[in-house]
Amino acid sequence: MSLYINNITSKLSFEVLAKWSFFLLVMTLPLGLFLNTLFSIFFFLLFTTHVIISDRLNGNNKLTKLIIMNLPLLLPFLSLTFSENLEESAKILFKTTPIFFFSIFAVYKNSWFKNKIKTAFKFLVAGCLLAAVFCWAMAIYDLFSNGFPLIYIFNKEFSHHHLSGIVGVHTPYLALFINTALIFMLFGHDHTEKLFSGGMFYFSFTVLVLFLVHLMARNAIFCLIIYSMFYLIWNRKWTVLLCLSLSLSAIFIKILLMDNNSLRDRLFSSVNLFEKETVFKKQDKRFVRWSSSLEVFRRAPIFGVGTGGIDFFRKKEYLKRLDSEAYNLNYNSHNQYIEYLSTYGLLGSICLLFLAGHIFKLISQKKSVFLAVLFFSFLIAMLTESMMVRAWGISFFGILYITLYSWE
């Protein structure tokens, strides 16, 4: 009897610890890579132990799903067979291993997450709010320490990468996490619940929108505008939609008419392929870097050059184009679709599209607007970032897997 009670207590302890490590894993996405990696390790170890001592994985005929979901891991694994740089290939393979754990948990233990996934997103909202408060507090401290007026906080020196650098999260990824929290508050949150309802809901939403704008993350900002309008149309809030449209139009015209302002250059001008460099910003060479990766694709169009060769050949292209910044900092493609095309060739691109199709099929079966908007945000983010070669993107994609399979 005593042994039975101890066994039950042990199961419950591991389950509670796994639950809280999962919540903290989600919450720390916008709070820095170290904390997120730490709680990811805790979660993988605790939840695996919980599964082993509690029951077997529940699932039959799910191997096909598991293989499809692990394509981001299988591609770097297969590229090891012809890699010219085993060390670099092994490094990329190790970085993508969390996908394996997330996919197993999502497919075989989705029932465990069903009553926890909404709470996890509330923790993400809390994490984004903490990131906003900490970044603003440190930015204000830097202003006062250097004798600058508070209005300078909106200058480019205290915005964008400088602001997100305070928590050590690259701006596009921090913006994606904030956008995800906002999408949850718009489409996935039950407004009848006490947490994040009423005044707290509007306060949190306003703070995160202001923080997103301050980050000047144009991809996430444009997406949020589209989602907000869709939300207002879906709920037939015509007055609010009209006010929002007029406000955005006025802001848009004001920014365009202002002479020599960094906000216009950042949000609008830098997306122009032919934009010239100004005193307010350096020229955005994103399109040049995409062409460099496409040149690498032409070397091996079917199977690609592999994870061990992509950096070597791409840096040669950067050197030809005299892109010293990309060469010295070893930039990736900053586009996940081109990244897969140049690294794994047409095979990799087909695998990526097949995986996206599998996810869209799952979303259509669940008929969830929240899941559709959430996944669409990730697809849009992949246009300007190589999400699956950075730890932030891999962690977020793993959480997306769990959300897709456990959301009701």
**More confident position, 398 or 270:** 398
pLDDT at 25 over 70: yes
Confidence category of residue 4, pLDDT binned at 50, 70, 90: very low
Q: How far is Cα 155 from Cα 183, in angstroms, rounded to an integer?
A: 28
pLDDT at 175: 93
pLDDT at 52: 79
Residue 301: CA count within 13 A, CB half-sphere: 2
Mean pLDDT of 91-99: 89
pLDDT at 264: 61
pLDDT at 233: 85
Q: How far is Cα 39 from Cα 22, in angstroms, rounded to an integer?
A: 7
Residue 338 tokens read as: 């081109």
DSSP state of 61: S
CA dihedral sign, ordered 110, 72, 161, 275: negative
Q: How far is CA 384 from the centre of its chain?
A: 11
Distances (CA, A) of 202 to 142, 198, 205, 247, 335: 29, 7, 5, 18, 34
Contacts 24+ apart (CB under 8 A), 225-228: 227/182, 227/183, 227/186, 227/187, 227/373, 227/377, 228/186
Mean pLDDT of 122-138: 94
Length of the chain measured in residues = 408
Confidence category of residue 90, pLDDT binned at 50, 70, 90: confident
Residue 151: CA count within 13 A, CB half-sphere: 0
Contacts 24+ apart (CB under 8 A), 109-117: 109/47, 109/51, 109/57, 109/58, 110/402, 110/405, 110/406, 111/58, 111/406, 112/406, 113/22, 113/402, 113/405, 113/406, 114/406, 114/408, 116/19, 116/22, 116/23, 116/406, 117/402, 117/403, 117/406, 117/407
pLDDT at 267: 60
**More confident position, 105 or 309:** 105
**More confident position, 164 or 160:** 164
Ranking 60-69, 107-116, 215-224 by mean pLDDT, the lowest is 60-69
Mean pLDDT of 334-360: 91
The pTM of the whole model exceeds 0.85: yes
**More confident position, 62 or 386:** 386
DSSP letters, 157-195, are: GGSTHHHHTTTT--HHHHHHHHHHHHHIIIII--TTSST
For the chain, report the end-to-end CA distance as a whole number of angstroms: 38
Ranking 235-239, 267-271, 364-368, 369-373 by mean pLDDT, the lowest is 267-271
DSSP state of 81: G
The per-residue pLDDT of the chain, averaged, comes to 83
What are the domain boundaries of the chain?
Answer: 2-276+327-406
- What region does 147 belong to: left with phi over 0, alpha with psi -120 to 50, or beta? left
Ranking 72-76, 239-243, 249-253, 385-389 by mean pLDDT, the lowest is 249-253
Q: How far is Cα 152 from Cα 144, in angstroms, rounded to an integer?
A: 10
Confidence category of residue 144, pLDDT binned at 50, 70, 90: confident
Percent with pLDDT over 90 in the chain: 28
C-alpha angle 137-141-145 in degrees, rounded to nearest 5: 175
pLDDT at 113: 93
How many other CB atoms are there within 10 angstroms of residue 328's CB atom? 10
Render pLDDT for 297-337 as a digit per residue (tens, 0 to 9). Answer: 888 888 888 887 888 888 888 888 887 788 787 888 888 99
**Phi and psi (nearest 5°) for 301?**
-70, -25
Render pLDDT for 231-240 as a digit per residue (tens, 0 to 9). Answer: 888 878 888 7
DSSP letters, 327-371, are: HHHT---S-HHHHHHHHHHHHHHHHHHHHHHHHHHHHHHHT-HHH
pLDDT at 247 over 80: no
Query: Quick check: 42 and 31 in contact, CB under 8 A?
Result: no
Residue 77 tokens read as: 């694994």
Query: Quick check: 334 and 385 in contact, CB under 8 A?
Result: yes
H helices, E strands: number in the chain: 20, 0
